[in-house]
Amino acid sequence: MNEDKKTESRQKNVPKEQKHFRVSIHLVLLAAIVLIAGFSAYRLYIWNKGVPSDYDPNYQTTDFDTEAMDNIIPLAPDKLEGHEDDGVTTILCLGDDPFSLDRGENGLSELIAAKTGAVVYNGSFTGTTIAAQLDEYNDGYIMDAFSFSYIAKSLASGDFELMKTAANYSYDEAFPENTAMLASLDMNAVDLICIMYDASDYINQRPCDDPNDPYSIVTYTGALRAGVTAIQEAYPHIRIVVMSHTFCHNINAEGNFENADRVDLGHGTISHYLQKELDATSECGVSFIDNFYGAINEDNYLDYMTDYIHFNDAGRNLLADRFVQCIFPASKEAE
């Protein structure tokens, strides 16, 4: 029997059910191919068509999704060696208008005291800056005696004669009172110094830094480094916390408000000052609380400020909460 006849014979012997089964497999495969091709074509159609976007270019939100640049550094245990703890948490606040303009129950230092249970001293001076105006002190500009580096130097040395003399020429009655308080304060009893200046250095066009002199007192970060270092060397047991400025406006020559984060007055915008301040505090090993991104910003400032730079009661309360959350979190949780 030749090969063709054998094949024909085998085909005849195959049951009808098997013949039908083989045909069904072919149909299933064909159907699967058609389904896959159809599904792929549908997906390609959907992809080409796209989906409606929910983006609205005119939508505005009050949410501020930028992460705060807080840098909280605890005091090293060895800094407390030889220091006797009196059991009372004592805080000294240094700065300008955020602390000085309201000294009542809604004042920033008073709110910090209420929220922490600490004894808080307010050693702030209205209208001052971190950086000095002049390289060397001159009686023609007494405000330099109340800039941060000069105050820190007086606290570290215990010599307040320059500040007392300058205070006598001040039209602000609080200047001699605050100077006398600082001069009489027992710094060995102080546990923490909280430093906060608004954007006055930016407004007064103080340079951010001097690459040739990182401790130049006529620069924003130089004066901060010089002052913090002086306190650290004299009183290593004191923890230092720097609270940054918030969002504000500049008032130009025409009397119009200008967004300080968009206007460079010669040494950068306020966000540039913020970054420089963060860098300086990191170098000095002290804590930094970012109020620019973490508290009062371009989106919410109308709720917390009375004008281009000063705070209302809600603003001071928010700043006090930021301080407590970062430095005394247990106090905030207990409320």
The pLDDT tens digits of the residues spanning 158-217 come to 999 999 999 999 999 999 999 999 999 999 999 999 999 999 999 999 999 999 999 999
As a whole number, mean pLDDT of residues 233-240 equals 98
Res 62: pLDDT: 47
Q: What pLDDT digit, counting tens, does each position of 1-14 carry? A: 444 544 455 544 54
Res 297: pLDDT: 97
Contacts of 87 (CB under 8 A, 6+ apart): none
Res 95: pLDDT: 98
Contacts of 110 (CB under 8 A, 6+ apart): 103, 104, 120, 122
Res 46: pLDDT: 64
Q: What pLDDT digit, counting tens, does each position of 47-88 carry? A: 665 555 554 555 454 444 578 999 999 999 999 999 999 999
As a whole number, mean pLDDT of residues 23-47 equals 71
Contacts of 144 (CB under 8 A, 6+ apart): 132, 133, 134, 137, 138, 150
Res 36: pLDDT: 81
- The per-residue pLDDT of the chain, averaged, comes to 89
Res 331: pLDDT: 65
Res 245: pLDDT: 98
Res 287: pLDDT: 98
**Domain at 77-333, CATH from 1.10.10.60, 3.40.50.1110, 3.30.420.40, 3.40.109.10:** 3.40.50.1110
Burial of 286 (C-beta count, 10 Å sphere; 0-12/13-18/19+): buried
- CB–CB of 273/220 below 8 Å? yes
Res 83: pLDDT: 93
- Rg for the chain, CA atoms, rounded: 34
Residue owning tokens 């003399």: 165
Domain ranges of the chain: 17-50, 77-333
Contacts of 102 (CB under 8 A, 6+ apart): 108, 316
Sign of CA dihedral 143, 145, 150, 154: negative
Q: CA-CA distances (angstroms) from residue 223 to 5, 195, 199, 227?
A: 108, 13, 15, 6
Q: What pLDDT digit, counting tens, does each position of 112-140 carry? A: 999 999 999 999 999 999 999 999 999 99
Q: What pLDDT digit, counting tens, does each position of 261-306 carry? A: 999 999 999 999 999 999 999 999 999 999 999 999 999 999 999 9
Residue owning tokens 């090293």: 76
pLDDT band at 144 (very low <50, low <70, confident <90, very high): very high
- CB–CB of 220/130 below 8 Å? yes
pLDDT band at 33 (very low <50, low <70, confident <90, very high): confident
